[in-house]
Amino acid sequence: MARPKTHIMSLLANRRFLKMNGLGNEIVILDLRGTRLSVSAAEAAAIARDPRSHFDQLMVLHDAHAPRHDAFMRIYNTDGTESGACGNGTRCVAWALAADREMGGPGADRLILETAAGELPTERLGDRLFTVDMGAPRLRWDEIPLRDPFHDTTGIELQIGPIDEPILHTPSVVNMGNPHAIFWVKDVEAYDLAKIGPLLENHPIFPERANISLAHVAARDHIVLRVWERGAGLTRACGSAACAAVVAAVRKDFSDRIAKVTLPGGDLTIEWRASDDHVLMTGPVELEWDGTLAPSLFANVA
């Protein structure tokens, strides 16, 4: 007689989470500092399936690896894959830690958060306004990375549609902790990004896939952007994509080094600082609710 299957309850069950957003970019923060717990790809995808804990990015906090860091972050996309950076999510984490400080915890107005892609220093400018130092962009073809060598990454040979009349072509490519391809267009709403985004995200030229943006330069200090986010899909905002767009625009002499980037969820201010090559992103955050992860989320997770 076969024994009935038993399921080991995930240790994440009943853990507290914060549901936040940065310009509508859905963020969930799960604080695992002080524990040895981790989140698997399947558990991250399960958390995303619950409407109350749905996210574009899941920010999981672990103990810092070095004393100068306030936390180590692992960042998950909706499909459970990991991301190297998330500017909107980092601002949300900075708010959560600052709020923790006000309740006697270890938060601070100036924090240094650590990710697999490197350090992300943050600074609180107002109650819900934060700046994140996203570091220096990576611009060489093998740093982005691309499958094929391109000497000039301000515009690579890639198009979608007929050869003689492509729908989109010649994107700029930048790595801002994750790979970004930016297509320059006159109207960001004139394309079915939900249809073409997955094709471009998974194009063989991007061995680690890529975030796909449509960018319109409205003025030298204003870019309008729509983003298909790697592993998450259409998003109302993507901080690293906004950074990548300004870097790419400056390199093409479309933009000044400080520009407003308008996304469907609102505006970010991006500065590509000449003094040290770092990209600074400033924008707001919003707390939506505080909840706990239902045990039922993990019932079918191996």
pLDDT at 170 over 90: yes
In this predicted model, what pLDDT tens digit does every residue of 175-205 receive, in sequence order? 999 999 999 999 999 999 999 999 999 999 9
Of 12, 238, 248, 270, the active-site residue reads 238
Please tell me the class of the 159-284 domain: alpha beta
Give 7's pLDDT tier (boundaries 50, 70, 90).
Answer: very low
Indicate which residue of 85, 86, 246, 297 is catalytic.
86
Residue-averaged pLDDT of the chain: 92
Q: pLDDT tens across 24-69, in order? A: 999 999 999 999 999 999 999 999 999 999 999 999 999 999 888 9
User: Is residue 86 annotated as part of the catalytic site, yes or no?
Assistant: yes
Residue 282 has pLDDT above 90, yes or no: yes
- Whole-model pTM? 0.90
Q: What is the pLDDT of residue 108?
A: 64
Q: What is the mean pLDDT of residues 284-288?
A: 95
Q: Which amino acid is at 284?
A: P
Q: How sure is the predictor about 164, in pLDDT bands with cuts at 50, 70 and 90? A: confident
> Which residue's entry shows tokens 């995303």?
48
The pLDDT tens digits for 126-144 are 888 999 999 999 999 999 9
CA distances from 129 to 93, 94, 124, 242 (A): 12, 10, 6, 17
* pLDDT over 70 (residue 149): yes
Domain 16-129 is in which class? Answer: alpha beta
Residue 168 has pLDDT above 80, yes or no: yes
Is the fold of 16-129 the same as that of 159-284? yes
Q: Write the secondary structure of the chain as one string of H (helix), E (strand) and C (coil).
A: CCCCCCCCCCCCCCCEEEEEEECCEEEEEEECCCCCCCCCHHHHHHHHHCHHHCCCEEEEEECCCCCCCCEEEEEEECCCCEECCCHHHHHHHHHHHHHHHHCCCCCCCEEEEEECCEEEEEEECCCCEEEEECCCCECCCCCCCCCCCCCCCCCCCCEECCCCCCCEECCEEEECCCEEEEEECCCHHHCCHHHHHHHHHCCCCCCCCCEEEEEEEEECCEEEEEEEECCCEEECCCHHHHHHHHHHHHHCCCCCCEEEEEECCEEEEEEECCCCCCEEEEEECEEEEEEECCHHHHCCCC
Domain borders along the chain are 16-129, 159-284
Which pLDDT value is given to residue 9? 57
